[in-house]
Amino acid sequence: MDFIHLNNMEFYGFHGALPEETRLGQRFRVKLSMAVDLKGAGETDDLEQTVNYAEVFDLCRAIVEGEPKKLIESVAERIAGEVLRVYSAKVKGCKVTLVKPDPPIRGHYESVAVEITRGDFA
């Protein structure tokens, strides 16, 4: 299987369980990997034979910058579901990592994140 990776896309959203998160918002980073057969695109140099990652970026942005959710698990699930729905003819599976770099947690850490895998992602 071949893969398309969109790494460290950064958006500003209003997700979180705490009132200040939904009021003030914060940064979110998304890494998305999609299992796609890229042989046809590689042989023909035809965009129609692959997934337009500019469109996928816009889809991710719309979700992260859209309707607030309490849990980043819900945001990641929505990204995976929409990618698999919109690109069902080409994307066989996907892995979404959603990173919250600055959650309101006391202590020292780089970030918190969730990672989900949906579909056929071997």
pLDDT digits (tens, 9 = 90+) for 36-83: 999 999 999 999 999 999 999 999 999 999 999 999 999 999 999 999
pLDDT of 109: 87
Range of the domain at 114: 2-119
pLDDT of 10: 98
The secondary structure element, H or E, covering residue 40 is helix 39-44
Cα 41 to Cα 19: distance, rounded to the nearest angstrom? 46
Measured CA distances, 61 to 19, 44, 46, 96 (Å): 22, 30, 25, 13
Q: Tell me what the pLDDT averaged over the chain comes to.
A: 96
Q: Please confirm, yes or no, whether 100 is among the known catalytic residues.
A: yes
Q: What CATH number is given to the structural domain containing 81?
A: 3.30.1130.10
Strands laid side by side in the 91-100 sheet = 2-13, 26-36, 91-100, 112-119
Q: 105 burial class (0-12, 13-18, 19+ CB within 10 angstroms)?
A: exposed
Q: 98: how many CB neighbours lie within 10 A of its CB?
A: 29
pTM for the full model? 0.95
Task: Count up the domains in the chain and report the number.
Answer: 1
- pLDDT cut 90: percent of the chain above it: 88
Dump pLDDT digits (tens) for 77-89.
Answer: 999 999 999 999 9
pLDDT of 106: 86
